[in-house]
Chain A
Amino acid sequence: MKPAPGSWPWLFLHEMRLSWRGVSGSHFWLIAIGGGLLWFFMHWGAWTALPAGYPVLRGMLAVPIFLGGLYWLFASLLVSQTIVHAVNALIVREDLDLLLSSPLPQRSVFLVRGLAIAASAALLPAFAALPLAHAGLLRGHPEFLALYPLVAATALGCAAAGITITMTLVRLLGARRARTAGQVFAAVVGVVFFLAFQIPNVLPAAKRAVLGEWLKLQVLDNGLLGPGSLLWWPARAGFGEALPLLAMIALGAGGFWLAVSLTYRRFVTGTQETITGGRPAVRAAAGAPVFRSGLTRVLLFKEWRLVLRDMQVVSQTLLQLLYLVPMVFIGFKSGPKNLYIVPVIVAAAAMLAGNLAWITVNAEEAPELLATAPVPVARVLRVKAAAAVLPVLALLLPLALWWAPRSPLESATLLLCGAGGMLSAALIQVWSPRAGKRGDLKHRHKAGGPAGMIEMLSTIGWIGTAVCAGGRWEWLPLAAGAVALALGAAWFGGRRARAETWGSAAPEAAGA
């Protein structure tokens, strides 16, 4: 039976349909068949492993730091995901003006959006945990069915957290800025656990030992992280313990209800601000204009301004590098002789330059203006590639110079492979262009066609070259071959893309 048009279940189905439209066509069947097979094997694995594995799982519950820690790590990633969903669903989506001008109660619209966020958040934990529930039922452990309400409660709780954080940002910053801030916040939440786990690696040995002792004390019976700690109730709820399960359901459902009740008015006003565009951002400017001369200078400044002023781009670019920070710390501690430091920095430099080149070349906002200007496209593209490479080179150069007297080979390797990786990444974007929007930077490897894979191959080649320079010269032909293959593929494979992207504006010149 179909729900009545205009009711909240009807709107919820509409939301779900829109969510599934994202995986339509051939991808849908690929995901459905692949996912179905995987889920079947997960059931089979759980059913096979449960007789021997159940005592192990109960044992883990006695030392709860693993299961409980895993739960909170996963929950933090889900909150990160729900913030992104909340930003899209509550601020960005273009159908909000239609929905809010309809006779549907605004609270219902908000509630349904919240439920849709929770449903999206439930997908992955349900996929991961429910095979255990089903296998448990068949193996005589019906208490594992508690995973069903636990997954629902977790999804509702994470949705509540995502909505509350997003709406708080709307309240503090306004809808326009909250959109970017939400995306930055989500990325930070996503990496914070990863960085936290790396802390012991960057501590001196003595302090690491002290931290280890302290943690041991805390997981004992009467410690802060002991088996009785409320922190591990989610794990105990998964084993069907009544009180922790009820508490989790109350926390998830109650938190969701509270979040919806407290923030929906902000949703309405924030949405109006988004729809009407809000107040324009004002920047100080006084007196008569002073213009620069020369195409190269003007173009470079334009590209750098656009990157630095776009918080979304800055965050998406720089946060990727956060994952590499702990390794760089290790490298600095052990000096340039460390096997990892040069390859890691080469990887980071190539990634950053690739991102910037994608922004400057593929995410050009006014391609028609450039195409109608009396300037050769090849020159414009050269400057755009330089705009991507120069800032990263400026970061790399001081480090290489600092290393030069201490370790000339590592310094030269860093400079050569770093510059090579950056230049290759930029050239691949120029040679295999595919127009995109700046906001799609995060997904450029997925949406950018073969260029993403080619760029990855090139970066791996340069990382390999850096490793070879550390004394494994026999592998150098393979690493250099990967780079050559990537550049060749970008040049020959990108001929059509160059012609399509740069049109009649001298398409082959674009590759010059």
Chain B
Amino acid sequence: MTNTHMSGESAALAVSGLSKSFGAKRAVDGLDLVIPAGEFHALLGPNGAGKTTTLRMIAGLLRPDSGTAAIYGHDIARSATAAKSVTAFLPDDPLLYGKLTPLEYLEFVAGLWAVPPDAAARRAQELLEWLELWGNRGEYVEGFSRGMRQKLALAGAMIHEPRLMILDEPLTGLDARAARSVKDMLVAYVKKGNTVVLTTHILEIAERLAERISIILGGRIVAQGTLDELRSRTGAAVGPAGATLEDVFLELTEPA
């Protein structure tokens, strides 16, 4: 199913006919997806459904076999620099520089996105304080725990204030307190008019945060809409007392 109520020009993300194969395996199969600016969108699917491949193509890390992806009207293939300058991508297992300190890492990321040094320094301090890493700002990243690394990668994704954030399993490894602050931050970030596309296997997160949800299976979007719209598709009761996203997800992704 495709959301066609919006033109690609005004969308934060407009994907059309995106396909990618690895050898004989078709990982993404003519995927269409339009996400309006200012939306919190969850992309859900079972393991191997094509979520990560889709996100990596949108982020410019993988070249699609066919199809297009545009970020705020900038085609990721033809206007890569313009598209990337408003985007942040956080992979599921972000790789950081072990021998840099958090401040040095953020300085480097800010340099890549050409953030003015003074603004970057101010923003870095804000982000590290908010993520409770300011006390660790002088330590090498190699000594950090999984959760601390994830928080630093998130700070790196946010330092240039992107308009679109693509997050692949962003809450992996975070403790309850850190996960709560990240969720609050993402909600506040979307309220400012920015866009978040997120994948997660923790369906409660998608249920609580996402305005619309896309369910991907076999490299295609098989269902899309608000939680109530998805409930309606499966014939479940709508509203707060309706079926959970987990029930709906299992129903929609049940093998034929």
Q: A306-B100, A374-B114 are in contact. List 8 more A-B contacts (CB 8 A).
A: A280-B136, A289-B125, A291-B111, A305-B104, A306-B97, A366-B94, A504-B63, A505-B60
Residue of B nearest to A299 (CB): B111
Pairwise interchain contact B89-A281, C-beta atoms closer than 8 A: no
Q: B187 at interface (Cβ–Cβ under 8 A)? A: no
CB of A479, distance to nearest CB on chain B (Å): 39
Residue of A nearest to B59 (CB): A372
Q: Which of B117, B137, B156 touches A369 (beta carbons < 8 Å)?
A: B156
A298 cross-chain contacts in B, Cβ below 8 A? 107-108, 110-112
Q: A446 at interface (Cβ–Cβ under 8 A)? A: no
A294 cross-chain contacts in B, Cβ below 8 A? 111
How many residues in A have their beta carbons less than 8 Å from beta carbons of B?
42
**How distant is the Cα of A506 from the Cα of B81 in the complex, in angstroms?**
11
**How distant is the Cα of A479 from the Cα of B136 in the complex, in angstroms?**
53
Pairwise interchain contact A365-B121, C-beta atoms closer than 8 A: no
Q: B109 at interface (Cβ–Cβ under 8 A)? A: yes
A295-B97 contact given A290-B121, A371-B61, A504-B62, CB 8 Å threshold: no
Residue of A nearest to B110 (CB): A291
Q: A13 at interface (Cβ–Cβ under 8 A)? A: no
Pairwise interchain contact B125-A302, C-beta atoms closer than 8 A: no
**How distant is the Cα of A371 from the Cα of B89 in the complex, in angstroms?**
10
Pairwise interchain contact B140-A280, C-beta atoms closer than 8 A: yes
**How distant is the Cα of A506 from the Cα of B60 in the complex, in angstroms?**
10
Residue of A nearest to B112 (CB): A373
How many residues in B have their beta carbons less than 8 Å from beta carbons of A?
53
Q: B54 at interface (Cβ–Cβ under 8 A)? A: no
Q: A284 at interface (Cβ–Cβ under 8 A)? A: yes
- Contact flags (1/0) for A87-106 with B, using CB distance below 8 Å? 00000000000000000000
Q: Which of A285, A292, A306, A372 touches B138 (beta carbons < 8 Å)?
A: A285
Pairwise interchain contact A504-B77, C-beta atoms closer than 8 A: yes
Pairwise interchain contact B85-A368, C-beta atoms closer than 8 A: no
Q: B173 at interface (Cβ–Cβ under 8 A)? A: no
Q: B246 at interface (Cβ–Cβ under 8 A)? A: no
Pairwise interchain contact A292-B117, C-beta atoms closer than 8 A: yes
Q: A283 at interface (Cβ–Cβ under 8 A)? A: yes
B179 cross-chain contacts in A, Cβ below 8 A? none
Residue of B nearest to A293 (CB): B117
Residue of B nearest to A295 (CB): B111
CB of B14, distance to nearest CB on chain A (Å): 18
**How distant is the Cα of A370 from the Cα of B61 in the complex, in angstroms?**
10
Pairwise interchain contact A292-B77, C-beta atoms closer than 8 A: no
Interface of chain A residues 252 through 294 with chain B (CB within 8 A): 277-286, 288-294
B63 cross-chain contacts in A, Cβ below 8 A? 503-504
Q: Which of B101, B111, B124 touches A283 (beta carbons < 8 Å)?
A: B101
A284 cross-chain contacts in B, Cβ below 8 A? 138
**How distant is the Cα of A235 from the Cα of B98 in the complex, in angstroms?**
48
Q: Which of A281, A299, A309 touches B143 (beta carbons < 8 Å)?
A: A281
Pairwise interchain contact B116-A504, C-beta atoms closer than 8 A: no
Cβ contacts A to B, 8 pairs, < 8 Å: A283-B101, A289-B137, A291-B111, A292-B107, A366-B97, A371-B60, A374-B84, A503-B62
Residue of B nearest to A290 (CB): B121
- Contact flags (1/0) for B82-93 with A, using CB distance below 8 Å? 111101110100
Pairwise interchain contact B61-A376, C-beta atoms closer than 8 A: no
A291-B156 contact given A366-B95, A368-B89, A372-B84, CB 8 Å threshold: no
Residue of A nearest to B61 (CB): A371
A365-B95 contact given A295-B114, A298-B107, A373-B113, CB 8 Å threshold: yes
Pairwise interchain contact B143-A279, C-beta atoms closer than 8 A: yes
CB of B146, distance to nearest CB on chain A (Å): 10
- Contact flags (1/0) for A296-316 with B, using CB distance below 8 Å? 011100100110011000000
Q: A375 at interface (Cβ–Cβ under 8 A)? A: yes
Q: B142 at interface (Cβ–Cβ under 8 A)? A: yes
A291 cross-chain contacts in B, Cβ below 8 A? 107, 110-111, 117-118, 120-121, 124
B99 cross-chain contacts in A, Cβ below 8 A? 305-306, 309-310
A297 cross-chain contacts in B, Cβ below 8 A? 111
